Amino acid sequence: MDALIIETVVKAIVVLLVISALAGFGTYLERKVLAFMQRRLGPMHVGPFGLLQILADGIKLFTKEDIVPQHANRLIFMVAPAITAATAFIALAAVPLFPEFTLFGYTIRPIVADLNVGILFVLGAMASGLYGPLLAGMAQANKWGIIGSARTAILFLSYEVVTGLSILAPIMIVGSLSLIDFNNAQAGGIGDWMVWQQPVAFVLFLIAGFAETNRTPFDLLEHEAEVISGYATEYSGMRWGMFFIGEYANMITISFVASLVFVGGFNPIGFIPGFLAIILKVSFFFFLMLWVRASWPHVRPDQLMWLCWKVLMPITIVNILITGIVLL
Amino acid sequence: MSLEKFKDRNIGNQNYTLIGHEAFPQTGGEKFERVMKRMLKGELFVGLWVTLRTMFQALFKGEMHTTKYPFEKLPISPRYRAIHEMLRLLESGHYRCIGCGLCEQICISDCIRMDTRYDENQRKEVSEYTINFGRCIFCGYCAEVCPELAIVHGSRYETSSEQRASFSLFEDMLTPIDTLKHQKEYPGFGAVSPNADENIKKTPLAY
């Protein structure tokens, strides 16, 4: 029992440190990829290829003055960024990151908690992360913030149905909610990937995932050209940074979930070992998010609601019905 | 686009091409049809392909547009009007200025001051010559009016200064004597244009 507690704590700390470092690195990657797609160089001057830019940004964020606006609800204003960041990491707890490996004669399963309702837990934790922007926008006594949080509510009401229903069809096929079972169900190589059986669900889940992480086609809650910074208007320093760490951690989580559920997870592909395979898949999904941000315009809130309720939800329901009939 | 077309301010007379807007869908069925058309047409993927192609061109074909400014500089036109230069005669190495004072007279911001005197050969020499770059507006009149191509505009355009009045002395702007051998026939601002001969009309003597 003690060993289990120590192991879990160590895993949690490792995941927290690695993913928050990766989230910082993600900002660097995003700036670089966006720059290349616009024929710019991106950060170049701090360290080799601008790699230490993350460090410089971190120092800047940590040493900035932490301002709480005069009429803001002080407690909620200060707690809100922690909700976003914390739920992003809590969601990662039920995600198996790599295949099992042996270190110093001790078999390690790189998942903090193998829940039997893993996928539900991940989606629920990520969905509760939306409380961060919602409360932040309402607590800061700023009109842009209010608009931002109103849009958060719209976004939440729209995509969450699609996320849940689109992932329902793969759940029906696999017959389990554990992400490890999802992974094991696709162990037979590329032909066994869920994406071939559920292409519609895959596309719908990706669309909903973009909405879930507030990425560009659906980044209406902090779109600079319209609502300054939305819910993050009044934030500065590390509180603002925590929103960003949360957002990038969410991107990583969604990438992991999409690769585990639909494209074979951490099963080895041919000569590529399992841990490398999942790193490649997650990198692809992460790159896809940056790529889409560079390419596509974003939608209006009413278009998002229209899209989610009138187009995507009927498609998911038809998809579930067909899957059910085929399974019977 | 030709220059005449570019300069034509007579807007409204050109033949504009109207982009074909299709009729706005009225019924639900038409709306659904438009949605399906837009969804299946793959226009979004065209957008994705454009950015990816741009990225590969920028990374591997050297089509990056950034100039790393303090380390790289873009070429500027020879007619660019930056900090003045005082030229020397190519043969003797003596400075070209004959002390006529035309530049001082024509300067509209009053930033050129010069003092001249006769030297031992009864030839005018410049004893003092300063340009106040805090006032100079780089209009180029001095270089245009100079009959000897003595004062010209060079290409030094990084001219920030800590003081409002920033003087330059004659010796600062004069071509150093040891770099005279690099001085070519000056093509920049102040020199006559390459096709000057074509533009000259002979004065008829019959007046």
Q: B52-96, pLDDT tens digit by residue?
A: 999 998 888 888 888 888 888 888 887 888 888 888 888 888 888
**Among B35, B44, B63, beta carbon nearest to A311:** B35
Residue A310 resides in a domain: yes
The answer, for B165 touching chain A at a CB cutoff of 8 Å, is no
Task: For A66-77, write each residue's pLDDT tens digit.
Answer: 888 888 888 998
The answer, for B179 touching chain A at a CB cutoff of 8 Å, is no
Residue A186 resides in a domain: yes
Question: Alpha-carbon distance B134 to B166, whole Å?
Answer: 5
pLDDT at A225 over 80: no
Give the pLDDT score at B70. Answer: 85
**CB contact at 8 A, A198 and A262:** yes
Task: For A163-197, write each residue's pLDDT tens digit.
Answer: 888 888 888 888 888 888 888 888 877 777 888 88
DSSP state of A311: I
What is the mean predicted confidence (pLDDT) over A128-144? 87
pTM for the predicted model, two decimal places:
0.79
The answer, for A303 touching chain B at a CB cutoff of 8 Å, is no
The answer, for B36 touching chain A at a CB cutoff of 8 Å, is no
Residue A83 resides in a domain: yes
CB within 8 Å: B54 and A39: yes
In chain A, the largest separation of any two C-alpha atoms, in whole Å, equals 61
The answer, for B63 touching chain A at a CB cutoff of 8 Å, is yes
Question: Alpha-carbon distance A256 to B100, whole Å?
Answer: 80
Work out the mean pLDDT of chain A and round it to a whole number.
85
The answer, for B67 touching chain A at a CB cutoff of 8 Å, is no
CB within 8 Å: A40 and B47: no
Provide the H-helix boundaries in chain A: 2-37, 53-63, 74-92, 118-128, 131-139, 143-174, 179-185, 194-197, 199-212, 224-227, 237-261, 274-295, 301-306, 313-327
Interface test with B, best of A38, A207, A289 (most B CBs within 10 A): A38
* Chain B positions in Cβ-Cβ contact with residue A36 (cut-off 8 Å): 54-55, 58-59
Give the pLDDT score at B9. Answer: 66
Give the percent of chain B with pLDDT over 70.
93
pLDDT at A140 over 70: yes
Note the ipTM here.
Answer: 0.80
Task: For B30-57, write each residue's pLDDT tens digit.
Answer: 888 888 887 788 888 888 999 999 999 8
Residue A44 resides in a domain: no
Domain containing A133 equals 69-327
Residue A248 resides in a domain: yes
CA geometry: angle A198, A262, A26, nearest 5 deg: 140
What is the mean predicted confidence (pLDDT) over A223-247? 83
Residues with Cβ within 8 Å of residue B14, at least 6 apart in sequence: B8
Residue A295 resides in a domain: yes
What is the mean predicted confidence (pLDDT) over A235-257? 87
The string of DSSP codes covering B88-137 is B-TTT--B------HHHHH-TT--EEEEEEE-TTS-EEEEEEEEETTT--
CA distance A241 to chain B (A): 28
CA A294 and chain centroid, separation: 18
User: Smallest Cα–Cα separation from A152: which of A314, A323, A301, A318?
Assistant: A301
CA distance B159 to chain A (A): 24
Residue A319 resides in a domain: yes
Q: Name the pLDDT band for A325 (thresholds 50, 70, 90).
A: very high
Task: For B146-157, write each residue's pLDDT tens digit.
Answer: 888 888 888 888
Q: How many domains does chain A have?
A: 1
Task: For B96-125, write each residue's pLDDT tens digit.
Answer: 888 888 999 999 999 999 999 998 888 888
Residue A297 resides in a domain: yes
pLDDT at B1 over 70: no
The answer, for B65 touching chain A at a CB cutoff of 8 Å, is yes
Work out the mean pLDDT of chain B and round it to a whole number.
83
CA A188 and chain centroid, separation: 27
CA distance A101 to chain B (A): 36
The answer, for A71 touching chain B at a CB cutoff of 8 Å, is no
Residues with Cβ within 8 Å of residue A2, at least 6 apart in sequence: none
Mean pLDDT is lowest, of A116-130, B5-19, B100-114, for B5-19
CB within 8 Å: B51 and A44: no
Question: Alpha-carbon distance A85 to A99, whole Å?
Answer: 26
